Amino acid sequence: MKHLRLLDLRNNCRIQKLPNSICKLQNLQTLALCGCEKLEELPKDIRYLIRLRIFLVTTKKNSLPGCPNSLRFLRLSNCGNLESLVETMQVCTSLRVLFIDNCGGLNSLLPTLKFLTALEALLFENCEKLDLIEMEDNQDDFPTSLRALAFVGLPQLVAIPDWIKRSTKSLQILYIESCPNLTALPEWLVNLESLRRLKIKNCPKLSSLSKGKLCLPTLRSFIIAECPELIRRCQPEIGEDWHMIAHASKIYLDDKRIKKAYN
């Protein structure tokens, strides 16, 4: 077993505990525990898996043990009791992708993001208590190299956090979906000079785009769906906000592609 590189126990509905002896698998690169909804205890020495690159986990614990610095991809899924990531994030300085979904007990990431200096993709989905605005006190501590960012199913999101401005030169993909209390897009959106894809879906309170002209030179795809007032304002030629997006090469309004003839 010492040469094992992949251990996949996904969707095992019976397992409750993993033995600490798993941490002797020094060549393990992927540990998949997503869907293990009865898992109550993780190996305490998981940080010693020095070649671990990918860690996918579902657990009933309210915190996670420290992960190895070798970790590149971390997904936390259906961890309903999870409250804190402090111990985990302090050592994940090489992490590239963080995906958190269906973690209803997680209400803040303070002060964990400041440790993720290499982070390139950050995705949140269906975390109803998560407050991202609270994290704005010390913006100089946030990652500067984000390429992809997704906010999906976040009822606490009322505004796009200003700490994203730290990644204005690198951000290429921005998804905002099912955020029922989001009311406005930030004025600094025009500074996302590398943005290629912008998708906004099911944000009914969002009534207009950023003030000024969305002159994003690299924008290739602009998608708006299930945002009635925003759709109205972005109608070709006649909408109040049409001039802000007309330069994009692909525009979709409620899944209908606007013909290039309008550009």
Residue 212 within any structural domain of the chain: yes
Residue 127 within any structural domain of the chain: no
Residue 79 within any structural domain of the chain: no
Q: For the chain, give the mean pLDDT.
A: 86
CA 106 vs CA 31, 42, 80, 102: distances in Å? 23, 18, 8, 9
- Strand order across the beta sheet in which 30-33 lies: 6-8, 30-33, 54-57, 73-77, 97-101, 121-125, 148-152, 173-177, 197-201, 221-225, 250-253, 256-257
Residue 30 within any structural domain of the chain: no
Is pLDDT above 80 for 90? Answer: no
Give the chain's domain count.
1
Residue 241 within any structural domain of the chain: yes
pLDDT of residue 62: 85
pLDDT of residue 262: 43
Residue 203 within any structural domain of the chain: yes
Residue 58 within any structural domain of the chain: no
Percent of the chain with pLDDT over 90: 43
Average pLDDT in the 236-262 region?
79
Is pLDDT above 70 for 260? Answer: no
Element (H, E) at 87: helix 86-89
State which residues form the domain around 196.
147-263
Average pLDDT in the 106-135 region?
82
pLDDT digits (tens, 9 = 90+) for 37-80: 999 888 888 888 999 999 999 999 888 877 888 999 999 999 98
SS3 for 161-210 is CHHHHHHCCCCCEEEEECCCCCCECCHHHHHCCCCCEEEEECCCCCCCCC
pLDDT of residue 263: 42
pLDDT digits (tens, 9 = 90+) for 161-218: 888 888 888 999 999 999 999 988 888 887 888 999 999 999 999 988 776 556 677 8
Residue 170 within any structural domain of the chain: yes
